[in-house]
Amino acid sequence: MSNSRLHGRSPSVKERPRISHPIPTASGSTSPPPRTDPCACSSPLPLRRGRRRILLPLFGAVLFVLVLFSSHHDLLGLPPAVQGLQRVSPASIAALVRPPVDEIHGLLYYALHDSETLAHGAPDPTRPLALSVYADGDLAPTPDWPARVKHLNSEAPLIVFSKTYCPYSKRAKDTLALYDLVPPPKVVEVDLRDDGAFIKAVLTRLTGLGTFPNVILHGKSIGGVDEITAMHKDGQLRQLFEKAGLQVRVEQKDDLEIV
């Protein structure tokens, strides 16, 4: 018997046993009340979700800064082929579009502008020369050589270095005339120029051909009279001109003989 009964008083609220009533179900029967674990605590899920919302954006920002300021940009483990890519700038795109400039283009520009400034006091033509040597008295501090090459390719794609008295040069020029090309070939008669020796030396070094004629198509030598005659007989010369963008208006088959 408890102390409260011994002293003749009813038990207090704290001392009264808790009686849980059964919960009626849909079928009318009663089910025992749910058991509660006195050791159980509230779930920390809301706290964890809050931490994730803060930490994930912070982690992403730190990673972005590391990748942005990294010198190698390999933090993400990208393949080597992708790691080597660089940002494409407008200047690099323009460099890709512009035609390449070689020394032969400088010589062609010089020869077509009727300038003979290199007839005397020219540098050694057997050694590579800078494009400034062929500037033709241009006062511009930095001549636009890509623009000059573009102009050459459009206005004078086919250039023939010839000698007026040479029968081989005459045969090559007659063969080219059969095609009635547009634009027509530009002919440079080397023997009529005071700088003929200089031009011959540079052509020999750049093209490997030291005789005349020397036919240049878009800055590349396609040979002399033997190569021109052979391609003409095989039907390859027309295809070569059309592929280079020249218009062939007439093609007459003719077996020219070297005199």
Q: What is the pLDDT of residue 85?
A: 47
Boundaries of every domain in the chain: 103-248
Number of H helices and number of E strands within the chain?
Answer: 10, 8
User: Residue 256: how many CB atoms within 10 A of its CB?
Assistant: 15
DSSP result, 94-112: HHHHSPP--HHHHHHHHHH
The Cα 115–Cα 138 span in angstroms is 11
The Cα 211–Cα 118 span in angstroms is 20
Radius of gyration of the chain (CA): 46
Whole-number Cα distances in Å, 69 to 44, 65, 82, 139, 184: 38, 6, 17, 44, 57
Q: What is the pLDDT of residue 53?
A: 72
Q: What is the pLDDT of residue 233?
A: 93
Longest dimension (CA), the chain: 153
Taking alpha carbons only, the member of 236, 240, 239, 235 closest to residue 253 is: 235
Q: What is the pLDDT of residue 9?
A: 53
Taking alpha carbons only, the member of 199, 211, 213, 209 closest to residue 168 is: 213
Match domain 103-248 to its CATH number in 3.30.750.24, 3.30.1510.10, 3.40.50.1220, 3.40.30.10: 3.40.30.10
What rounded mean pLDDT belongs to the chain?
77
The Cα 143–Cα 101 span in angstroms is 12
Q: Digits of tens for pLDDT over the chain (259 positions)?
A: 445 444 555 555 455 555 555 555 555 555 555 555 554 445 555 556 666 677 777 777 777 766 666 555 444 454 454 445 455 554 444 444 556 889 999 999 999 986 788 888 889 999 999 998 898 655 556 778 899 999 999 999 999 999 999 999 999 999 999 999 999 999 999 999 999 999 999 999 999 999 999 999 999 999 999 999 999 999 999 999 999 999 999 855 554 444 4
DSSP reduced 3-state for 249: coil
- Which tens digit of pLDDT belongs to each residue from 163-180? 999 999 999 999 999 999
